[in-house]
């Protein structure tokens, strides 16, 4: 039986006579110098051990986690990751390693990085790999800096970067940080980029294009080969945002399509718990001609073993302290070796099948702006529910009453009232069916009892909040006094 109630702070149950512990009196005189004693109290609440245990246990029960249920979040995948990968990354030889210890004592760690580089090079078709970037956006920044360094040495720095409407929001931000003017590329009527639009916008003052593929509509850019040829014809480079790589892994290698550089979200595709700000890893994979510009040091093979190479005169330099988020790299290698070539391909297949299963069973209830199929994620809108005065945010809030974390809402921006759903490859059929049943029930409620949806959620600890006020007026300090 679950009991829900409002949970205050420990200050609310403070009592001056309570204590979480009590030590017996000293049997010898104390020799603690009085000069080290605090003159005033810390102002912390005085509570019993039971109060502390119950308070934090109840707070933990309020949290939603991947161990408790499904995250139907598109774009930033929240998926279950095998616990064995965490266990292996916590072996003493991995977790207790230090970046400043002598390199001859870290040969195993360097081999882990080298073998992971080889694996990523194989699945992407891009031979030059750097594991330094700490997350996806950091990988983008690193990749575009590498592009800029190459272009500067081969014809001069260019001024513009093409960004499609269906790209991730970090792509234009990255271009701006790298001193490029963003040029918008509209998506075609079917949700794909048209090569003719790229050809119209691409010139010798344009560094290239940043393509999210599969894009944020969950669609594979079917014109990508032709787009790459158009950009290369003008001396530009093609960057691929690989955040959605779990949709094509084992089926399509970006390097074979003409991509020059891309990043991978190891904390999304290759098994590290995602969310809460980290940890992450966003290594970049590039064509051979970009290798000299990758961050330093690089893991290379010397005399039949992996080693760190620092003599890199053209490198863009370090982008991360030490050698990257090492334990994330360990998890990724374990994941890749465990699944193997066939397993990685199967993971992508399941991700696509799960998303299409949801698409086909919900398209009668929710408006589907693009289709009729998708890859790893499907994007609906609230167009059908608007007829009854119900909006996307209200659908998301009502879903919480059914025990699910809401999906991504209002993104991508090319779909008004977007509802982006990505079940990932780790969700079982019975859980996806529960989610579909909940979404169908909400669609019915929107018709028959729209007020119930508009005022949701009703059963969770924290009810409807004003997101704008919450973002602008954060409560970061408890004002209680004791």
Smallest CA-to-CA distance from 312 within 330, 326, 292, 327 is with 292
DSSP category for residue 211: E
- CA atoms of 252 and 225, how far apart (whole Å): 12
Instruction: Note the CATH architecture for domain 340-470.
Output: Alpha-Beta Complex (3.90)
CA distance 106 to 472: 47
Q: Which of the residue ranges 32-46, 94-108, 225-239 has the most confident prediction, judged by mean pLDDT?
A: 225-239
Using one digit for the tens of pLDDT, what is the confidence trace for 16-69? 888 888 888 888 887 878 888 888 888 889 999 999 999 999 888 888 888 888
Residue percentage of the chain with pLDDT more than 70:
95
The residues of the chain that CATH labels 3.40.640.10 are 83-338
CATH topology of domain 83-338: 3.40.640
* Cis omega (within 30 of 0) for bond into 366: no
- Give the separation between CA 379 and CA 384, rounded to whole angstroms: 14
Is residue 1 predicted with pLDDT exceeding 50? no
Which alpha helices (DSSP H) does 276-427 contain, by range?
326-362, 383-386, 392-401
pLDDT digits (tens, 9 = 90+) for 123-176: 999 999 999 999 899 999 999 999 999 999 998 889 999 999 999 989 999 999
Give per-residue pLDDT as tens, 425-472. 999 999 999 999 999 999 999 999 999 999 999 988 878 888 788 888
Q: Where in the chain is the domain with CATH 3.90.1150.10?
A: 340-470
Average pLDDT, stretch 58-81? 80
Q: Which 3 state secondary structure label does DSSP give 441?
A: helix
| pLDDT at residue number 472 | 87
The dihedral sign for the CA sequence 124, 129, 134, 136 = negative
At 197 the pLDDT is 97
Interatomic CA distance for residues 281 and 279, integer angstroms: 7
- Specify the range with the lowest mean pLDDT, choosing from 259-273, 330-344, 348-362: 259-273
pTM: 0.90
And the tokens for 242?
Answer: 């690989």
Q: Is the pLDDT of residue 117 over 90?
A: yes
- Percent residues over pLDDT 90 in the chain: 75
């Amino acid at each position: 039986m679950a009991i829900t109630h409002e949970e205050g702070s420990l200050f609310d149950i403070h009592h001056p006579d309570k204590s979480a512990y009590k030590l017996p009196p000293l049997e010898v005189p104390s020799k603690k110098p009085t000069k080290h004693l605090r003159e005033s109290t810390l102002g912390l609440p005085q509570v019993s051990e039971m109060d502390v245990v119950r308070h934090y246990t109840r707070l933990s029960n309020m949290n939603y986690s991947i161990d408790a249920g499904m995250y139907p979040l598109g774009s930033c995948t929240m998926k279950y990751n095998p616990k064995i990968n965490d266990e292996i990354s916590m072996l003493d030889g991995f977790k207790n390693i230090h970046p400043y210890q002598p390199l001859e004592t870290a040969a195993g760690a360097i081999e882990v990085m080298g073998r992971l580089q080889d694996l990523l090079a194989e699945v992407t078709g891009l031979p030059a790999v750097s594991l330094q970037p700490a997350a996806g956006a950091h990988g983008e920044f690193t990749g575009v800096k590498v592009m800029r360094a190459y272009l500067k040495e081969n014809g001069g720095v260019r001024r513009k970067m093409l960004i499609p409407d269906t790209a991730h929001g970090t792509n234009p931000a990255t271009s701006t940080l790298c001193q490029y003017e963003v040029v918008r590329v509209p998506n075609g009527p079917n949700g794909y980029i048209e090569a003719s639009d790229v050809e119209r916008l691409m010139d010798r003052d344009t560094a290239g294009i940043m393509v999210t593929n599969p894009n944020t509509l969950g669609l594979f850019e079917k014109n990508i080969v032709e787009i790459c040829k158009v950009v290369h014809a003008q001396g530009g480079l093609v960057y691929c945002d690989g955040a959605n790589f779990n949709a094509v892994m084992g089926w399509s290698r970006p390097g074979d399509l003409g991509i020059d550089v891309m990043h991978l979200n190891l904390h999304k595709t290759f098994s590290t718990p995602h969310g809460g700000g980290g940890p992450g890893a966003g290594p970049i994979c590039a064509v051979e001609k970009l290798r000299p510009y990758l961050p330093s040091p690089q893991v290379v093979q010397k005399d039949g073993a992996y080693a760190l190479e620092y003599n890199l005169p053209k490198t863009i330099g370090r982008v991360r302290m030490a050698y990257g988020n090492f334990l994330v790299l360990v998890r990724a290698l374990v994941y890749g070796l465990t699944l193997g070539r066939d397993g990685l391909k199967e993971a992508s297949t399941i991700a696509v099948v799960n998303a299409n299963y949801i698409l086909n069973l919900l398209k009668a209830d929710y408006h589907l702006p693009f289709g009729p199929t998708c890859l790893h994620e499907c994007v609906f809108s609230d167009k059908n529910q608007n007829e009854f005065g119900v909006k996307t945010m209200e659908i998301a809030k009502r879903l919480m009453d059914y025990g699910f974390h809401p999906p991504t809402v209002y993104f991508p921006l090319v779909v008004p009232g977007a509802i982006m759903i990505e079940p990932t490859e780790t969700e079982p059929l019975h859980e996806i069916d529960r989610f579909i049943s909940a979404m169908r029930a909400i669609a019915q409620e929107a018709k028959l009892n729209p007020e119930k949806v508009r005022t949701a959620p009703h059963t969770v600890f924290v009810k409807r909040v004003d997101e704008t006020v919450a973002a602008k007026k954060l409560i970061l300090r408890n004002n209680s006094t004791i």
